[in-house]
């Protein structure tokens, strides 16, 4: 059998053989959307795909082809952004996983590259559990990073996300174009810091990004991005997630 853990590299008998030994599948889910003037539109799916592949190799778990499009409604003012309705993404993820369940999958690990996909992935995960009793763990690297490392990831197309992209492929990031511009406050009492805050507490105030960040990137400034920061986060995150996958394998049940 081939050494690859990437599903697209395998023949169907090889896939069936791998599923008979282990019922975990890693599914990267990304987005194609603006990430400021310095970073590629594919940032979220390049990152989700690269992280998923590294986690799969570390954990010895199969990795599905990445879903490159998600819900990016708030970014549609920026050319090149593609957005699908969350319900469409839920259905897409559910059906892809449903096919894998038919062929032996019992546990999934979603590597989500984009916060806007969150609700859709949660719906798909619950529906998969309700209908087939399969477990889904969904993970977002930038949420986890401040909790498990010194990297306080806090941006969209800013210091940390651009660094992560540089660690994956520096040739498609142009840091000379990095030029972060964002508002500091919306009113005297509603401030902006990678999200809106009123009297110190986060307020879910939904505005298109063009209203608070005219270049498209916001949070920690992209000018401070460095490949080494990305490499550090990449290593910490993929080690951590490979560990979670070992634990998921110990949960009794599955298909």
Structure tokens given for 225: 């991005």
Burial state string for 12-25 with b = 16 or more CB within 10 A and e = fewer than 16: eeebeebbeebbbb
Binding part of the chain for Zn ion, among 44-52, 57-65, 101-109, 170-178 by CB under 5 A, reads 44-52
34 lies in the binding site for Zn ion (CB under 5 A): no
Binding part of the chain for Zn ion, among 37-45, 56-64, 66-74, 88-96 by CB under 5 A, reads 37-45
Q: Tell me which long-range contacts 127-133 makes (C-beta under 8 A, separation of at least 24).
A: 127/90, 127/94, 128/94, 128/97, 128/98, 128/101, 131/98, 132/98, 132/101, 132/255, 133/253, 133/254, 133/255
140 lies in the binding site for Zn ion (CB under 5 A): no
Least Å from the CB of residue 66 to Zn ion:
14
Strand 24-29 with 107-112, pairing: parallel
Least Å from the CB of residue 46 to Zn ion:
10
Of 56 and 216, which CB lies nearer to Zn ion in the complex structure? Answer: 216
Of 107 and 114, which CB lies nearer to Zn ion in the complex structure? Answer: 114
Beta-carbon contacts of 89 under 8 Å, excluding residues fewer than 6 positions away, are 29, 67, 69, 70, 71, 117, 120, 121, 124
- Cβ-closest position to Zn ion: 44
Closest listed residue to residue 238, CA positions, set 66, 26, 24: 26
Least Å from the CB of residue 165 to Zn ion:
9
Strand 155-156 with 218-219, pairing: antiparallel
Question: Which residues in 12-55 belong to E strands, given as ranges?
Answer: 24-29
Of 128 and 153, which CB lies nearer to Zn ion in the complex structure? Answer: 153
49 lies in the binding site for Zn ion (CB under 5 A): no
Least Å from the CB of residue 12 to Zn ion:
34
Of 75 and 241, which CB lies nearer to Zn ion in the complex structure? Answer: 75
Of 106 and 158, which CB lies nearer to Zn ion in the complex structure? Answer: 158
Cα 41 to Cα 87: distance, rounded to the nearest angstrom:
22
Q: What angle do CA 125, 127, 132 make, to 5 degrees?
A: 100
22 lies in the binding site for Zn ion (CB under 5 A): no
Size of the site for Zn ion (CB under 5 A): 1
44 lies in the binding site for Zn ion (CB under 5 A): yes
Structure tokens given for 229: 């920061």
Binding part of the chain for Zn ion, among 3-11, 42-50, 145-153, 167-175 by CB under 5 A, reads 42-50
**Which of helix, strand or coil describes residue 3?**
coil
Least Å from the CB of residue 88 to Zn ion:
19
Q: Which string of x and - marks every residue 172-211 that binds Zn ion (by CB under 5 A)? A: ----------------------------------------
Least Å from the CB of residue 162 to Zn ion:
10
Which residues contact Zn ion by CB under 5 A?
A: 44
């Amino acid at each position: 059998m081939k050494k690859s853990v990437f599903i697209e590299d395998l023949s169907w008998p090889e896939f069936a053989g791998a599923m008979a030994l282990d019922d975990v599948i890693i599914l990267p889910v990304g987005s194609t959307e603006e990430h400021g003037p310095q970073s590629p539109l594919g940032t979220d799916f390049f990152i989700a795909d690269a992280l998923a592949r590294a986690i799969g190799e570390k954990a010895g778990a199969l990795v599905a082809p990445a879903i490159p499009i998600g819900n990016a409604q708030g970014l549609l003012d920026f050319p090149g952004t593609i957005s699908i309705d969350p319900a469409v993404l839920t259905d897409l993820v559910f059906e892809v996983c449903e096919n894998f369940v038919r062929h032996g999958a019992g546990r999934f690990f979603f590597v989500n590259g984009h916060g806007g996909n969150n609700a859709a992935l949660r719906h798909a995960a619950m529906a998969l559990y309700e209908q087939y009793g399969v477990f889904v763990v969904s993970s977002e690297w930038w949420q986890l990073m401040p909790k498990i490392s010194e990297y306080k990831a806090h941006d969209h197309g800013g210091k940390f996300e651009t660094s992560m992209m540089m660690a994956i492929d520096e040739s498609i990031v142009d840091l000379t174009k990095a030029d972060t511009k964002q508002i500091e406050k919306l009113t005297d009492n509603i401030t902006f810091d990678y999200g809106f805050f009123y009297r110190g507490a986060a307020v879910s105030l939904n505005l298109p990004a063009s209203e608070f960040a005219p270049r498209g990137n916001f949070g920690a400034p992209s000018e401070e991005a460095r490949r080494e920061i990305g490499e550090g986060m990449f290593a910490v995150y993929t080690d951590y997630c490979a560990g979670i996958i070992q634990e998921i394998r110990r949960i009794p049940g599955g298909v």
